[in-house]
Amino acid sequence: MNSENSQRNSSVQNANELNSQRSTGVKRLLNEAKELCKPNELFHAQPLEENLFEWHFTVRGPPDTVYSEGVYHGRILLPVEYPMKPPNFTPSNAKWKIRNK
């Protein structure tokens, strides 16, 4: 019985930590969403209405570069542990690869 209580307490503690992390992440994401709603010529990002942990973004190529005519789209998947764990960026344009020229 003691082992069962210990296991149950551990599960409750893990659930509480996850909810706390999620709450911190949600607060931060809401603040970041407000900040990113400000107009910007080169970049736009916003979360999906039904999932705050999935964002879509558009980046325009910087002027006076070979990328100036490009518009690049992608998806950002944020872990529940955000901001303690990094997001995952997935470009949707086939030619555009992160860390490649």
Question: Domain limits of the chain?
Answer: 2-91
For residues 68 and 56, what is the distance between their CA atoms, to the nearest angstrom?
Answer: 20
pLDDT of residue 26 exceeding 60, the answer is yes
- Chain-wide mean pLDDT for the chain? 76
**Answer CATH for 2-91 from 3.40.1170.10, 3.40.30.10, 3.20.20.140, 3.10.110.10:** 3.10.110.10
pLDDT band at 86 (very low <50, low <70, confident <90, very high): very high
pLDDT in tens, 38-48: 778 888 888 89
The residue among 88 and 20 whose pLDDT is bigger is: 88
Mean pLDDT of 56-64: 89
pLDDT band at 54 (very low <50, low <70, confident <90, very high): very high
The H helix count followed by the E strand count for the chain is 1, 4
Q: What is the 3-state secondary structure (H, E, C) of 42-86?
A: CEEEEEECCEEEEEEEEEECCCCCCCCCCEEEEEEECCCCCCCCC
pLDDT of residue 65 exceeding 50, the answer is yes
